[in-house]
């Protein structure tokens, strides 16, 4: 093995696309210098392979490690697939992670994990009490180097590791953790890096100095929201009621009275609630309960509940039952509630759970993503943030917490302009004042015209489930001559996977239509090359609802980012979701993809600023005319290449 590498040494393909070598060079240079890199490159550019090739030279020369972060299982598998190609040319190793629940073989855990007893908590109890043979088998199997040598492959996806674990009686998750210590690349969810609790426990187990780690943030536009979600928390009225019942079972007056007081106060506040969210003062909430209970009961209820909850969990586990404690959950939440009370980078609300009163909850909402991202990004050797949708790139770089010295580059689409068609429909939009039956009927007219003249599959991605429902009410399914597949809110991953698999197969025949939402798993994580999605219709601009938390985020960003709150917290996330959806049909160089932006606001000079060049350069404004759309689609798809 040579002492010195360059990025091209790892590139596994006979030919490169325009710009790929340049992007590899930029990443390699930034990694060697320990400088942060932020890159926007369009869908189909080959970002995953190029990024790996750019970072691997420094990794191999310095015995370092890449933590390659992504959002979905498919994206993580894609990292390993590209690494497998690279391994045919160079000796590289890697594994991908999924959550414990997706890698666990222990039937007790899989049957009993729930909202009050997270998988990690049950797993910890089982390991500490010696009740998981899968875990014990890995611990005595040998050191990580020997384990890797004993594996059938040196590059493995999480499903590969699960299969090996099932055959050998190993805990797949623990096996992946052991292998992660000795491989070059670990592909893993954002949460391993940007969830403070997971970060503190996971990184030390890698047994590698932070100075030898390079963090890759794939689809980096998702990172700010992921960081905020990981630092936020919610406690429902249902959990509090479960704690009251549990306290009665264990005859614990302190927990029962505190939880009763908390539930009563939440219900009193909700009686005045006319909006989805109302702000609350966290100190006043706690003091109101303490006042009602009296000094004696309110003296130390939270530490008491934490301690009692742990005792309950252990006793249940010893009895072979689910170690579930609502008392412990309330105690843990209230610790956070009081800890963040005086912080101006958090806001506190009572949420009605949108339309479900049973989901009434107290919410702790984080407002500053850099509080989360900086903890890791300031400690590692370097970070590379890549996405097809981070326009304006300076804005996203700032939101990601990158330093002013970060290298920022944009790369143009390798796809021929003639392979892309983009239309913005004038005269229609989904702003609240225009959400009429007439508007949605016209939108359905456009959708039907486009779908019927698309040779393969069509994707329709609405701004929200509400907008999707309005399209259905306006007759979308009845008017389509092609089969309609509907992504439903709350759909299980396995159910969605089956739906998408069947939908994709339809592209080989007469074609079908998928109705989903912008920002959903299919509009971002889905990969639809060729006839699996020849055209896409983006219906509406997916602005966030004007809740208290949205307004608080805008206000905080105004202070944090020099008056850019409206852009950073409201407009950019919406445009990112829309553009991600628009990019679904353009995945391979030979693909021909037609895109309709079905909202006239996309044509405004203001929103054009947040649209990447690959989309902006092929987009034109046309009138609300289904016949014209039909003609343009027929002409576009009739061209032979």
pLDDT at 10 over 50: yes
Distance CA 517, CA 239 (A): 30
Sheet-wide strand order for 94-96: 155-156, 94-96, 185-189, 65-70, 213-217, 382-387, 37-40, 407-410
Q: What is the CATH architecture of 7-228+370-410?
A: 3-Layer(aba) Sandwich (3.40)
Fold of 233-366: Fumarase C; Chain B, domain 1 (1.10.275)
In this prediction, residue 275 has a pLDDT band, given cuts at 50, 70 and 90, of confident
Q: How many residues does the chain have?
A: 641
Closest to 41 in 3D by CA, of 162, 174, 195, 221: 221
Whole-number pLDDT of residue 412: 83
Residues of the chain with CATH 3.40.50.300: 7-228+370-410, 417-638
Whole-number pLDDT of residue 298: 46
Partners of 517 in the β-ladder = 462
Secondary structure string (H, E, C) spanning 54-102: HHHHHHHHHCCEEEEEECCHHHHHHHHHHHHHHHCCCCCCEEECCCHHH
Tell me what the mean pLDDT of segment 471-491 comes to. Answer: 94
Cβ neighbours of residue 517 closer than 8 Å, sequence gap 6 or more: 461, 462, 463, 464, 465, 468, 487, 523, 542
How far are the Cα atoms of 154, 185, 249 from residue 172, in angstroms, in the given order?
A: 15, 17, 37
Whole-number pLDDT of residue 589: 64
Contact indicator for 266, 350 with CB cutoff of 8 Å: yes
Whole-number pLDDT of residue 357: 47
Lowest-confidence region among 130-134, 283-287, 535-539, 585-589 = 585-589
Distance CA 390, CA 385 (A): 10
155-194 residue pLDDT tens: 999 999 999 999 999 999 999 999 999 999 999 998 888 8
Whole-number pLDDT of residue 294: 66
Fold of 417-638: Rossmann fold (3.40.50)
What are the b/e assignments for 601-631, b being 16+ CB within 10 Å?
Answer: bbbeeebeebbbebbeebbeebebbbeebbe
Helices 158-168 and 73-87 cross at an angle (nearest 10°) of 80
Cβ neighbours of residue 238 closer than 8 Å, sequence gap 6 or more: 358, 359
> What number of helices (H) and strands (E) belong to the chain?
32, 19
Contact indicator for 601, 541 with CB cutoff of 8 Å: yes
Cβ neighbours of residue 149 closer than 8 Å, sequence gap 6 or more: none
Distance CA 159, CA 157 (A): 5
What are the b/e assignments for 501-518, b being 16+ CB within 10 Å?
Answer: eebbebbeeebbbbbbbb
Percent of the chain with pLDDT over 90: 60
Q: Residue 334 has which token pair?
A: 């209230």
pLDDT at 531 over 80: yes
Residues of the chain with CATH 1.10.275.40: 233-366
40-98 residue pLDDT tens: 988 778 899 999 999 999 999 999 999 999 888 888 888 999 999 999 999 999 999 88
Which run of H or of E encompasses 614? helix 613-616
Sign of the torsion formed by the C-alpha atoms of 523, 524, 529 and 535: positive
DSSP string, 164-209: HHHHHT--HHHHHHHHHTT-SEEEEETHHHHSHHHHHHHHHHT-S-
Q: Residue 290 has which token pair?
A: 């303490």
Closest to 155 in 3D by CA, of 235, 77, 256: 77
């Amino acid at each position: 093995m040579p002492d010195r590498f360059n990025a091209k040494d790892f590139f596994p393909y006979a030919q490169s696309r325009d710009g790929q070598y340049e992007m590899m060079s930029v990443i390699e240079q930034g990694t060697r210098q320990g400088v942060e890199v932020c890159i926007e490159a369009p869908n189909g550019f080959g970002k995953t392979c190029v990024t790996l090739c750019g970072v691997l030279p420094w990794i191999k020369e310095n015995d370092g490690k890449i933590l390659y972060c992504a959002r979905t299982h498919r994206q993580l598998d894609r990292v390993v697939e590209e690494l497998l190609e690279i391994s045919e040319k160079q000796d590289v190793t890697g594994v991908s992670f999924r959550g414990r629940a997706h890698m666990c073989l222990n039937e007790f855990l899989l049957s009993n994990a729930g909202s009050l007893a997270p998988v990690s908590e049950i797993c910890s109890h089982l390991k500490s009490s010696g009740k998981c043979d899968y875990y014990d088998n890995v611990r005595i199997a040998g050191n990580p180097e020997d384990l890797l040598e004993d594996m059938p492959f040196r590059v493995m996806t999480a499903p590969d590791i699960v299969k090996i674990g099932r055959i050998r009686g190993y805990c797949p998750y623990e096996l992946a953790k052991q292998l992660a210590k000795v491989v070059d690349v670990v592909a893993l969810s954002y949460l391993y890096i940007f969830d403070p609790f997971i970060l503190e426990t996971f990184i030390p187990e890698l047994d590698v100095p932070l100075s030898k780690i390079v963090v890759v943030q794939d689809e980096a536009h998702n990172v700010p929201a992921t960081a905020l979600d990981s630092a936020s928390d919610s406690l429902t009225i249902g959990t509090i009621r479960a704690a009251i019942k549990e306290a009665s079972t264990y005859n614990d007056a302190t927990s029962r009275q505190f939880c009763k007081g908390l539930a009563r106060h939440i219900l009193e506040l909700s009686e005045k609630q006319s909006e989805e969210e109302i702000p609350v003062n966290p100190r006043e909430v706690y003091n109101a309960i303490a006042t009602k209970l009296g000094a004696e009961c309110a003296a130390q209820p939270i530490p008491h509940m934490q301690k009692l909850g742990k005792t309950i969990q252990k006793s249940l586990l010893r009895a072979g039952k689910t170690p579930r404690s609502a008392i412990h959950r309330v105690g843990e939440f209230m610790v956070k509630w009081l800890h963040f009370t005086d912080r101006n980078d958090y806001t506190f609300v009572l949420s009605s759970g949108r339309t479900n009163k049973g989901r009434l909850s107290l919410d702790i909402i984080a407002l500053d993503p850099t509080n989360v991202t900086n903890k890791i990004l300031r400690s590692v050797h370097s970070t590379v943030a890549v996405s097809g949708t981070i326009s304006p790139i300076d804005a996203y770089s700032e939101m990601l917490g990158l330093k002013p010295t970060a290298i920022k580059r944009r790369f143009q689409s390798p796809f021929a302009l003639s392979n892309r068609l983009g239309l913005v429909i004038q005269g229609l939009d989904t702003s609240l004042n225009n959400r009429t039956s007439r508007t949605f009927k016209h939108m359905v007219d456009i959708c039907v015209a486009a779908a019927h003249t698309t040779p393969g599959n069509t994707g329709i991605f609405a701004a929200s489930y509400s907008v999707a429902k309005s399209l259905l009410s306006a007759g979308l399914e009845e008017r389509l001559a092609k089969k309609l597949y509907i992504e439903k809110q709350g759909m299980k991953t396995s159910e969605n996977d089956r739906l998408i698999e069947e939908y994709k197969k339809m592209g080989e025949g007469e074609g079908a239509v998928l109705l989903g939402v912008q920002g959903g798993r299919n509009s971002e994580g889905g990969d639809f090359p060729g006839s699996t999605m020849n055209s896409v219709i983006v219906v509406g601009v997916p602005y966030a609802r004007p809740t208290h938390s949205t307004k608080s985020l805008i206000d905080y960003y105004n202070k944090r980012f020099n008056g850019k709150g409206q852009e950073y917290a409201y407009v950019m996330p919406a445009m990112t979701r829309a553009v991600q959806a628009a990019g679904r049909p353009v995945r391979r160089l030979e693909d021909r993809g037609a895109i309709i932006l079905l909202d006239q606001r996309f044509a405004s000079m203001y929103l054009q600023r947040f649209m990447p060049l690959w989309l902006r350069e092929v987009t034109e404004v046309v009138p609300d005319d289904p016949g014209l759309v039909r003609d343009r689609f027929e002409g576009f798809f009739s061209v032979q290449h």
